[in-house]
Amino acid sequence: MNHQKKKCSQIEHKENDAIYYCQVCNLYMCNKCDSHHSMLFKNHQKFTLDKDINEIFTGFCKKDNHSKELQYFCKDHNELCCVSCISKIKDEKNGQHKDCNVCSINDIKDEKKYLLKENIELLEEISKNIENFINEFKQFYEKVNNKKDELKKAVQSIFTKMRNELNNREDKLCDEIDKKFGELFVKEDIVKNSEKLPSKIQASLMKGKIKDDDWKDDNKLNILINDSIEIENNTKEINNIYFIIKKAKLIDFKYSFIPEEKGLNVFLEKIKSFGSIQNEGESNIDFDNISTIIENKDNLNFIIRQIKLKNNIKLENNCTLKILYRTSRDGDSCKTYHSKTNEIPDTLTFIKTKEKVIFGGYTHIKIPSCKMGTNFYDDKAFVFSLDYQKIYFPQDNTQSKHSNDNYGPIFGNNQKYEYPIIIYGPNFLSIKNHRTSTIKGSYYDNFTFDYELNKGKKNFEIEEIEVYQILFE
């Protein structure tokens, strides 16, 4: 890009082309001026004029050729502006910032000065380790790309095997069709020969009648016998084709392809969700039964991870969730619930409300039958929200599980009247005032607003409850 040549600001050198611009001195300099300037002012910011002159800050507005001094600051856009920029009349050249929060540059001076010091400190801090960080980042980037390629190759390898097996099965079935039809049915060459059959029959018939009258001449005996053999062979071939044509009318096409549609549909559904891309720090959760509450088992990883950490179990270890109790399957009585869940360690309870909110809790210890309400100490227990993907721990880790045979699942303790979850009895589904009682700042951590487990509502009705036992490998 060609730019208008600037002349040196020094009167004695005003005929010389300027090659530098000093932003501090606001001067254009020729080669002679620059040598003195560099000796006197080593820290001044200097621009080379062979670059785009628009990059040089002169203190004047360059927008739409305003050419006015930049005396104002737009807080909305964090940029300097001139009087034309903030003009009350907005047209194609003026008033771009007329509706913005604008102040004088003197009003913003202290704030920018403070921010400049902060940025200098930050840059100095970053500069100490930036080269190491960049090298580590490059290594990390390379590692990420290698891992990405590795994962893609692993996926491609599995699906290539699946495609190969499908292709092999397809080829085998097609070969079987060819074999069966080749053995029992008409081949293509027979069809082609049958089209020539009428003319071939007429030719052989006419020739045969002629030769039949020549048998009196013994001088042509060898010719007659040769022609007779030829007609004999033709007749045999014609008769074979004729027999196949008559037989074809009687053939019953009993063969059909049976894809086993029920099995095929199951197979196709499995293919849709086959495989998953997981963090190596999370385990694959295997269900021994399909949950009616949890639609995506990957959403459980944050819960399983916390349980493993609490129990000092390696994150890469797999686990199985064994169903113990389900309201829609086992009924909603307290008696049934306790008979199926008491005296079993590592239980995970999921509660789905009629408003489709999902929350629950984890208990590590075995909970015995308790005819009267009893608090239990469990330093690994917690409650969770599946909707917010959050874990909530009791602040003192004490009495974090409560049991009463006349109630359903209860998390929290009676002494502090703190129940994040309490399910009333004797039949869960008929009761409309089950409740969450934990409010922000109470005896449980991580709550950001009142009754967060139930999305801000204290009471709820139950649609489904499921209780699983976690079995670690």
Tell whether the model's pLDDT for residue 271 goes beyond 50: yes
How many residues does this entry show for the chain? Answer: 473
Q: CA-CA distance, 109 to 437, in Å (whole number)? A: 51
According to the 3-state scheme, what is the secondary structure of the chain?
Answer: CCCCCCECCCHHHCCCECCEEECCCCEEECHHHHHHHHHHCCCCCEEECCCCHHHCCCCECCHHHCCCECCEEECCCCEEECCCCCCCCCCCCCCCCCCCCEEECCCCHHHHHHHHHHHHHHHHHHHHHHHHHHHHHHHHHHHHHHHHHHHHHHHHHHHHHHHHHHHHHHHHHHHHHHHHHHHHCCCHHHHHHHHCHHHHHHHHHHHHHHHHHHHHCHHHHHHHHHHHHHHHHHHHHHHHHHHHHHHHCCCCCCCCCCCCHHHHHHHHHHHHCCCCCCCCCCCCEEECCCCCCCCCHHHHHHHHHHHHHHCCCCCCCCEEEEEEEEHHHHCCEHHHHHHHHCCCCCEEEEEEECCCCEEEEEECCCCCCCCCCEEECCCCCEEEECCCCEEECECCCCCCEEECCCCCCEEEECCCCEEEEECCCCEHHHCCCEECCCCCCCCECCCCCCCHHHCCCCEECEEEEEEEEEEEC
Q: CA-CA distance, 29 to 335, in Å (whole number)? A: 94
The mean-pLDDT minimum among 212-226, 344-358, 427-441, 448-462 falls in 212-226
Q: What is the mean pLDDT of residues 156-161?
A: 91
Tell whether the model's pLDDT for residue 343 goes beyond 90: yes
User: Would you say 285 and 300 are in contact if contact means Cβ atoms under 8 Å apart?
Assistant: yes
The mean-pLDDT minimum among 44-48, 70-74, 281-285 falls in 281-285
Q: Which pLDDT value is given to residue 53?
A: 61
pLDDT band at 299 (very low <50, low <70, confident <90, very high): confident
User: Would you say 364 and 310 are in contact if contact means Cβ atoms under 8 Å apart?
Assistant: yes
The mean-pLDDT minimum among 67-81, 397-411, 421-435, 457-471 falls in 397-411
* Average pLDDT over the chain, rounded to an integer: 83
Q: Which pLDDT value is given to residue 354?
A: 95
User: Would you say 348 and 293 are in contact if contact means Cβ atoms under 8 Å apart?
Assistant: no
Tell whether the model's pLDDT for residue 413 goes beyond 50: yes
Residues with Cβ within 8 Å of 333's Cβ and at least 6 positions away in sequence, in order, are 425, 426, 427, 428
Stronger pLDDT, 432 or 42, i.e. the higher one: 432
Stronger pLDDT, 278 or 98, i.e. the higher one: 98
Which residue from 398, 394, 384 is spatially nearest to 442, judged by alpha carbons?
A: 394
What residues pair up with 392 in beta bridges, in sequence order? 383
Q: Which pLDDT value is given to residue 52?
A: 53
Tell whether the model's pLDDT for residue 281 goes beyond 60: no
The mean-pLDDT minimum among 88-92, 170-174, 259-263 falls in 259-263
Tell whether the model's pLDDT for residue 76 goes beyond 70: yes
User: Would you say 357 and 407 are in contact if contact means Cβ atoms under 8 Å apart?
Assistant: no
* DSSP β-ladder status, 27-29 and 20-22: antiparallel
Q: Which pLDDT value is given to residue 353?
A: 96
Tell whether the model's pLDDT for residue 44 goes beyond 60: yes
Q: Which pLDDT value is given to residue 409?
A: 93
Summarised one tens digit per residue, pLDDT across range 90-107 is: 887 888 898 999 999 999
Summarised one tens digit per residue, pLDDT across range 197-237 is: 777 777 777 777 777 767 776 677 777 788 788 878 878 87
Q: Which pLDDT value is given to residue 252?
A: 62
Q: What is the mean pLDDT of residues 148-152?
A: 90
Q: What is the mean pLDDT of residues 346-374?
A: 92
The mean-pLDDT minimum among 15-29, 175-189, 232-246, 302-316 falls in 175-189
Stronger pLDDT, 324 or 42, i.e. the higher one: 324
The mean-pLDDT minimum among 51-65, 353-367, 397-411 falls in 51-65
Q: CA-CA distance, 299 to 447, in Å (whole number)? A: 20
Q: What is the mean pLDDT of residues 170-185?
A: 80
Q: How many CB atoms lie within 10 A of CB 17?
A: 13
pLDDT band at 163 (very low <50, low <70, confident <90, very high): very high
pLDDT band at 2 (very low <50, low <70, confident <90, very high): very low
Summarised one tens digit per residue, pLDDT across range 12-30 is: 888 898 888 887 888 889 9
Stronger pLDDT, 5 or 129, i.e. the higher one: 129
Whether cis (ω within 30° of 0) applies to the bond prior to 426 is yes
